[in-house]
């Protein structure tokens, strides 16, 4: 089937070539990181994780959000999603792949990555995360591919495929819960040490992931003449708006607990992110931009007349994705390290090498997604 991804027009190949160039850039930056060490990044003794782990966190959420299509379609028989369930599954595959690449890019000794499997350590959340992420990738890849293959032959998918799909539903929740547990179980990092982290991760994931799905349907309509239809988009918009609302609510509860209790350690990271701490305020404009954009976007998605307007819907989806990307893909990780355990305030600034590697991994993910979707659409449109 994959050969269908090798047939395309000029626009398609230009896009693929562009991605390949960005991948090349990323590979050369990674080669530099491999020769010199992670010292080429902006990370250091105090801020020991940076954009890599932040992108990983954001993308686990994107991967999990496939469930927003799979669950209503397979459990509630919502036929409107029939055309785009596969989009969600393939988005999950490419996002999970990017997650693993980001973890690999962040490792000091990627040559020893197999140690995680050779010395399984169930007390470590990383062990579980590796398990569930790999499992999730294959669940989606296999079930998506099998359903597509059956569709091409015009037969019903084999019964085991349904089983895999049902397993993938709770699995989606598990990947993001375990990812939250990577952070939420660490003593002394107050921004993360909160029971609401896992629910908040799920809420922001379903908001941003669903918004990305809506945007993909618009892109497919434009570049591939494949229209998923207005109805599924509007249903997704409703899901996204409520998830976004829940996310904002959780953020509000964080603020209340920290500032009403008035415990300094609980306030510091939030102060650093939103108001600045002892003269350090590098993320303040970002965080406010994220918050305001998030509120406006959720507002637009909540309003039926506004979300029916395609331009407003697209803008709100972009706004929500950007807002959550800043919040989760930057603030949450960088802010979690400030102040340091020894009460120092250290700012983090990613380097060009680090950003190039990051863009390279995104490009790999987009290339995989492009090829998977190209195949899926070719099958669906009987090309």
Partner 1 sequence: MSQNRREFLKKAGLGALAGLGAAAGLFPAFALEPTDSSGFTDAPVPGKVRWGMLVDTRKCLGNCTECIVRCHHDHNVPDFGHTKSEVKWIWKSGYENAFPTASTQFQNPEVLERQVLTLCNHCTEPPCTKACPTEATFKRWDGIVSIDYHRCIGCRFCMAACPYGSRSFNWQDPRPHIKELSNTYPTRMRGVVEKCNFCSERLVKGELPACVVSCAENALTFGDLNDPNSEIRKMLAANETMQRKPELGTLPSVFYII
Judged by the rule CB under 8 A, the positions of this chain that interact with partner 1 are 36-39, 43-46, 48-49, 103, 106-110, 112-113, 115-116, 118-119, 121, 123-127, 130, 182-183, 185-189, 265, 336-337, 340-344
The nearest distance, CB 203 to partner 1, in angstroms, is 23
The nearest distance, CB 298 to partner 1, in angstroms, is 31
- Residue 49: phi, psi to the nearest 5? -130, 150
Q: Is the dihedral of CA 231, 233, 234, 240 positive or negative?
A: positive
Dist. CA 166–CA 267, nearest whole Å: 41
Q: How far apart are the first and last CA of the chain?
A: 12
As a 3-state breakdown, the chain gives helix, strand, coil percent values, each rounded to 5, of 75, 0, 20
The nearest distance, CB 247 to partner 1, in angstroms, is 23
The nearest distance, CB 110 to partner 1, in angstroms, is 8
Q: What is the DSSP letter of 158?
A: P
Token pair 């976007």 is found at: 297
Task: CB nearer to partner 1: give 109 or 153.
Answer: 109
Task: CB nearer to partner 1: give 52 or 73.
Answer: 52
Q: Where are the beta strands (DSSP E) in the chain?
A: none
Task: CB nearer to partner 1: give 183 or 274.
Answer: 183
Task: CB nearer to partner 1: give 127 or 218.
Answer: 127
Task: CB nearer to partner 1: give 105 or 224.
Answer: 105
Asked if residues 94 and 353 have their Cβ atoms less than 8 Å apart, the reply is no
Listed residue (377, 378, 242, 233) closest to 312, CA to CA: 233
Task: CB nearer to partner 1: give 184 or 364.
Answer: 184
The nearest distance, CB 190 to partner 1, in angstroms, is 10
- Side-chain half-sphere exposure of 152, counting CA atoms within 13 A: 15
The nearest distance, CB 100 to partner 1, in angstroms, is 13
Dist. CA 266–CA 193, nearest whole Å: 9
Cis peptide before 339 (omega within 30 of 0): yes
Dist. CA 138–CA 230, nearest whole Å: 30
Task: CB nearer to partner 1: give 99 or 378.
Answer: 99
The nearest distance, CB 280 to partner 1, in angstroms, is 15
């Amino acid at each position: 089937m994959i050969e269908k991804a090798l047939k395309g027009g000029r626009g398609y190949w230009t896009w693929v070539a562009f991605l390949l160039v960005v991948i090349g850039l990323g590979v050369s930056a990674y080669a530099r990181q491999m020769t010199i060490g992670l010292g080429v990044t902006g990370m250091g003794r105090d801020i020991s994780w940076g954009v890599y782990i932040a992108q990983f966190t954001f993308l686990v959420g994107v991967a999990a959000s496939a469930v927003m299509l799979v669950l209503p379609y397979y459990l509630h028989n919502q036929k409107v999603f029939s055309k785009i369930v596969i989009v969600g599954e393939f988005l999950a595959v490419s996002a999970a792949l990017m997650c693993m690449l980001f973890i690999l890019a962040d490792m000091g000794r990627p040559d020893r990555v197999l140690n995680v499997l050779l010395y399984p350590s169930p007390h470590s959340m990383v062990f579980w995360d590796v398990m569930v992420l790999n499992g999730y990738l294959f669940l989606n890849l296999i079930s998506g591919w099998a359903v597509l293959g059956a569709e091409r032959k015009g037969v019903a998918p084999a019964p085991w495929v349904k089983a895999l799909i049902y397993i993938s539903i709770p699995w989606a929740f598990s990947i993001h819960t375990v990812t939250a547990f990577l952070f939420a179980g660490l003593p002394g990092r107050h921004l993360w040490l909160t029971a609401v982290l896992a629910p908040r991760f799920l809420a922001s994931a379903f908001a941003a992931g669903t918004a990305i799905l809506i945007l993909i349907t618009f892109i497919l309509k434009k570049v591939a003449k494949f229209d998923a239809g207005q109805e599924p988009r509007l249903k997704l918009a409703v899901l996204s708006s409520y998830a976004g609302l829940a996310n904002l609510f959780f953020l509000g509860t964080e603020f209340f607990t920290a500032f009403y209790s008035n415990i300094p350690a609980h306030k510091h990271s939030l102060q650093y992110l939103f108001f600045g701490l002892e003269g350090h305020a590098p993320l303040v404009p970002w965080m406010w931009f994220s918050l305001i954009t998030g509120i406006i976007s959720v507002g637009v998605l909540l309003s039926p007349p506004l979300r029916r307007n395609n331009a407003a819907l697209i803008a709100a989806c972009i706004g929500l994705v950007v807002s959550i990307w800043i919040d989760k893909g930057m603030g949450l990780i960088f802010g979690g390290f400030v102040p340091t355990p020894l009460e120092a305030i250290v700012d983090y600034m990613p380097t060009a090498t680090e950003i190039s590697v990051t863009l390279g991994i995104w490009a790999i993910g987009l290339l995989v997604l492009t090829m998977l979707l190209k195949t899926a659409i070719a099958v669906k449109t009987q090309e």
